[in-house]
Amino acid sequence: MSDPHDPAVDHLPPGFNRLAGSNLAAQSAEQIALAAMPMVAVLTLHADASTASWLQVALTLPFVLFAIPIGMLADRWPKRALMAGAEAVRALALFVVAGLLAAGRLNLAALGVLGFVAVCGTVVFSVAAPALVPSLVPAAMLARANGRIELARTVAFACGPAIGGALIGWTGAMAAFVLAAALSTMASAMLAGVTAQEPVARRAAHPLRDIAEGARFVFQHPLLRPVFITQFVFTMAFFMVSAIFVPYAAQRLNLSAQAIGLTLGMYGAGMVVGALLAARILARWRFGLVVATGPVCGLAGGVLLAATLWQPWPALAQAGFFLLGCGPILWVVSTTTLRQTVTPPALLARVSAVNVMSYGARPVGAAMAAWLAAHAGVGACLVVAVAGFALQLLCIVQSPAVRLVRQPRADDASAGLEPA
């Protein structure tokens, strides 16, 4: 039998393929639910832009609260079991949302609380899955495996919002939540076939020491530190846009639920295109150029979305979301590969958790959008977001990460740098 950890083997092992399939189902559930919740809040529960933004705060807060604790657990407990349990909890929360809708008892508070619970499943998957991949595939195939994971995720990002919007427009929101819950159940079941020999970290004397160890590694590393800062700023700017987009699209662009879902789906369509091109681009471009592509496309996409303030054309918003998906997916594939390469295996889940902590910018961006929408209008949110996209590009172009000619080695992070 071929050893799946032999670099000579040119196909990804079955255990990884099951993980990728589970990831597709989990991400699809997440995207359908995350698209449906603000649409229900705005179109059914009549939330304004500020209220919809506070809902986004509830839907993003788990990344701040639980990323580091989950990273600590994932370094000590079987990652597969953590992920399966989290998906089961997400499925239950989404079934409850569907039930409350059917009974006519859903309100904004219940939607926020149940959405918060459901997103906890996303946090577990975001931390544990990247840390599990190196246990399933050889180092030489990491970029390909990460590309496969991101391709599955991008299909979900492309289809999820469109499916959610279509179901809400044609059959009602309950069907969207039932489908999302069923997909989470499927994701949990598929993880049963994933087996891997995972490195077990030593037990620290105190949990804070674990947190400090992962954070110290990231913030003292010359490549991972600027990647984290850039990702934090990008995420904050992106969620300023996404927090207000549903009410903005309904009121300013006069879009229906189906059209809103289609527009949000362009983000996923861009991710699909980027993921399909990722392997070819990584093989032909300098590694640092691939890293820089995401922030460049982020700024371009933000400018197009802000342009709808003067020309309320849906096509501008769709093009903006496409660029926000296409370029940053190359960022995700390249920086995930970078992080997996330069991080010791026993630290990987905690370092992944620190990376996911950059998602803590999600509630920050959503809260900023809520305040700005209430005091200066949604237009101010789009303008400030463009400033954020410009800042994240500035952060990365001044870092050594953009000078990487190739993927660095684990034993020498500077080996891939071109001369300054």
pLDDT tier at 8, thresholds 50, 70, 90: very low
- Residue-level pLDDT at 196: 60
pLDDT higher than threshold 50 for residue 420 = no
Q: Which two tokens stand for residue 29?
A: 């559930």
Q: Which two tokens stand for residue 6?
A: 């032999």
pLDDT tier at 414, thresholds 50, 70, 90: low
From CA 119, how far away is CA 195, in angstroms rounded? 25
Higher-scoring residue by pLDDT: 26, 146: 26
* Mean pLDDT score across all residues of the chain: 83
pLDDT tier at 6, thresholds 50, 70, 90: very low
As a whole-number percent, the residues of the chain with pLDDT over 90 amount to: 27
- pLDDT (average), residues 207-213: 70
- pLDDT (average), residues 128-134: 79
CB 214 within 8 A of CB 358: no
pLDDT higher than threshold 50 for residue 365 = yes
pLDDT tier at 207, thresholds 50, 70, 90: low
pLDDT in tens, 237-253: 999 998 889 899 988 89
pLDDT higher than threshold 80 for residue 415 = no
pLDDT tier at 343, thresholds 50, 70, 90: confident
- pLDDT (average), residues 366-383: 91
From CA 305, how far away is CA 313, in angstroms rounded? 10
- Residue-level pLDDT at 141: 77
- Residue-level pLDDT at 7: 43
Cβ neighbours of residue 146 closer than 8 Å, sequence gap 6 or more: 130, 133, 332, 333, 336, 337, 340
pLDDT higher than threshold 90 for residue 306 = yes
Q: Which two tokens stand for residue 370?
A: 């809520």
Cβ neighbours of residue 126 closer than 8 Å, sequence gap 6 or more: 63, 67, 352, 356, 359
- Residue-level pLDDT at 271: 81
Higher-scoring residue by pLDDT: 121, 397: 397
Which superfamily, per CATH, for 14-190+215-403?
MFS general substrate transporter like domains (1.20.1250.20)
pLDDT higher than threshold 60 for residue 203 = no
pLDDT tier at 410, thresholds 50, 70, 90: low
3-state secondary structure the chain: CCCCCCCCCCCCCHHHHHHHHHHHHHHHHHHHHHHHHHHHHHHHCCCCHHHHHHHHHHHHHHHHHHHHHHHHHHCCCCHHHHHHHHHHHHHHHHHHHHHHHHHCCCCHHHHHHHHHHHHHHHHHHHHHHHHHHHHCCCHHHHHHHHHHHHHHHHHHHHHHHHHHHHHHHHCCHHHHHHHHHHHHHHHHHHHHHCCCCCCCCCCCCCHHHHHHHHHHHHHHCCCHHHHHHHHHHHHHHHHHHHHHHHHHHHHCCCCCHHHHHHHHHHHHHHHHHHHHHHHHHHHHCCHHHHHHHHHHHHHHHHHHHHHCCCCCCHHHHHHHHHHHHHHHHHHHHHHHHHHHHHCCHHHHHHHHHHHHHHHHHHHHHHHHHHHHHHHCCHHHHHHHHHHHHHHHHHHHHCCHHHHECCCCECCECCCCECCC
pLDDT higher than threshold 90 for residue 180 = yes
- pLDDT (average), residues 351-367: 79
pLDDT in tens, 32-54: 998 889 888 888 888 888 888 88
Q: Which two tokens stand for residue 387?
A: 């400033």
